[in-house]
Amino acid sequence: MSYAPPIRRPLEGERFHVIVIGGGINGVAIARECARAGRRTLLVEQHDFAAGTTSRATRIIHGGLRYLEHAEIGLVHESLVERRRLLRERPHLVHPIHFLLALDQNSGRSALAIRTGLWLYRRLGGGKLQAGSSREDQQKLERLLDSGRRWSVFSYEDAQCEFPERLVAEWLVEATEAGAVARNHTQVLAVDVRHRRVVGVLLRDQLSGKEERVEATWIINATGPWADRICQRSRIQTPHPMVGGVRGSHIVLPRFAGAPDAAVYTEAVDKRPIFVIPWNEQVLVGTTEVSDQGDPGKVQPSPEEIDYLVRSLLHLFPGVKLSTADIRYTFAGVRPLPFAPKENASAVTRKHHLHDHAPDGAEHMISVIGGKLTTAAELARQCASKIGASRKSSKTLAIASAQNAELLLDRWVIEIGNRGGISEDTARGIVEWHGRRALDISRMALRSAELRAPLCSHTEHIVAEAVDAFTGEGAVTLGDVLLRRVPVALGACWSPTCSREAAARIGAVMGWNETQSADQLEAFESERSAFLRKPARVSSVLEAAAD
């Protein structure tokens, strides 16, 4: 038995109440909100959902402790409310994580100010999240820190979403179940403006090359760092650029001996705040803040940024024997911060802004500027309200605590395991990435040994998850699956051998012929190497510092 993705039906001449351009976490959240409010909604994304800025973030769900320094208490409160909501609604994807804030004697931040800020942060966040043991983690951290300096270590809690790509996939399914039409690999060539009002868009299907015109009452430009480009292509003139792109780069390293299970929030060599976070059985270090006005689709970390992050890590942990050569891969994204040419990037607000284009001669078009992973759902509610598409009620899954969340996940694992044919590790892996939908995936897996086969020899994740991505979550390419729906290719084990194994096993079940399998594999390897890059240059200074 072979499976096939749903057929992409023609859109030419169709009319929607709202077209959302951009399939990152903000765009998908907006489409879901509008569809649930009963508005006929079209969501279009030029590449794949969550393939841009969303997949290149630091992967934490937080209030933004440092935003308190800039007196953005409203943003912090809004973010912490959304953090608690996500912990309740998505316990399999968003979980509490213990943070340690480490500052040396040269820090410009006083202990009193830090304690006051943490007290306020906890009060705004509504209490403890139960993120695990703090004393053991603190002792591990203290053993790693540079013993030649005096350190102050503070403890607090936040949350982590290791795979925001999965959160986007779930919201996408909910949007389509509510009636939204979703198209990835579909580029908006231009917004059609007539008599100072938007009336639709011109689309190009990137897979077939076919162009189509679609009508709409409202257009939401949620393209993040591409927002100004959409306006330029559509001849919509704004008084000044809306987005001031700031590149944020990360490095991914192997777990090193003695590394705490807690995330570490500290200061880099230039006193900027950075994170060292356990992620996906690896260590994620980031991020930088560098102005970037280039093509957001081709963004890469610079050698200087990579050196900066490694130097900052070694400055914090001088005994750790790591260097640039140990980096598994790097990645970068462009934050769509509001245009503020005279401000330092760290001081530019992270609060989102909805730009109404009526004064620009494009009534009924709104551009979303800024925003962050944590507040995407709240941004969506505000955007829907602005166009008159608010829902009257919102049902949420009520989970009172982290322990209850763990019990729920354990119950799903047991239920899947009792079906037979799937190991407990595989069942847990499916539950942690797919939540309630894990039950449907497990039912599919029972149909054949090919569906229960692992995607590669190093993972517990199975072919049935990939098939579900194609048939139920809008995936079109192998990259859509392995980098975002079932993101095993972000793992420490992944190699060209893994890629070939996964392509062969998925292709056999999906009914791909030899040419299709080869094309999918080639496109995937090209996309992965462009996204997750191994540094080409090793700094002799860093090598010496690591010895």
- 367 CB contacts (<8 Å, ≥6 apart)? 220, 221, 222, 227, 230, 231, 242, 354, 355, 357
Domain boundaries, the chain: 15-53+165-242+350-386, 93-160+244-335, 402-531
Residue 115 to residues 118, 120, 121, Cα–Cα distance (Å): 5, 9, 10
Which residues fall within 8 angstroms of residue 529, CB to CB, at 6 or more apart? Answer: none
- H/E stretch holding 106 reads none
Measured from the Cβ of residue 492, the count of other Cβ atoms closer than 10 Å reads: 13
Q: Find all residues with CB under 8 Å of 54, minimum gap 6, and list them.
A: 24, 25, 164, 165, 168, 373
Question: How far is it, in rounded angstroms, from Cα 182 to Cα 472?
Answer: 12
- 215 beta partners: 15, 200
35: enclosing H helix or E strand: helix 25-36
Mean pLDDT by 10 residues, the chain (547 residues): 86 97 98 97 98 96 84 90 94 94 86 89 83 77 87 93 98 98 98 97 96 98 97 96 94 91 93 94 95 92 96 93 93 92 72 94 97 95 94 52 66 78 89 91 92 95 97 97 98 94 97 96 97 74 46
Distance separating alpha carbons of residues 252 and 327, to the nearest angstrom: 6
Contact 170, 90 (CB under 8 A): yes
516 Cβ neighbours under 8 A, 6+ residues apart: 507
Q: How far is CA 406 from CA 130, 402, 413, in A?
A: 12, 6, 10
| Spatial distance between the Cα atoms of 525 and 522, rounded to a whole number of angstroms | 5
State pLDDT tens for residues 174-220.
999 999 999 999 999 999 999 999 999 999 999 999 999 999 999 99
The reported pLDDT for the residue numbered 340 is: 81
Q: Which residues contact 136 (CB under 8 A, 6 or more apart)?
A: none
Cβ atoms of 462 and 423 closer than 8 Å: no
H helices then E strands: how many in the chain?
Answer: 17, 17
The rounded distance, in Å, linking the Cα atoms of 364 and 18 is 10
Confirm if 405 and 399 have CB atoms less than 8 A apart. yes
The residue count for the chain:
547
Token pair for residue 240?
Answer: 């000044």
Domain 93-160+244-335 has CATH 3.30.9.10: yes
Token look-up 């879901």 returns: 32
Give CA–CA dist 519/510, Å, rounded: 14
Q: Which two tokens stand for residue 237?
A: 């003139």
Q: 287: cis peptide before it, omega within 30°? A: yes
Instruction: For 402-531, give the CATH class.
Output: mainly alpha
Q: What is the DSSP track for 272-293?
A: -EEEEEEETTEEEEE---EE--
In this predicted structure, what is the pLDDT of residue 393? 57
Record: fold of 15-53+165-242+350-386:
FAD/NAD(P)-binding domain (3.50.50)
Which amino acid does the sequence have at 399? I
Q: pTM of the prediction? A: 0.93
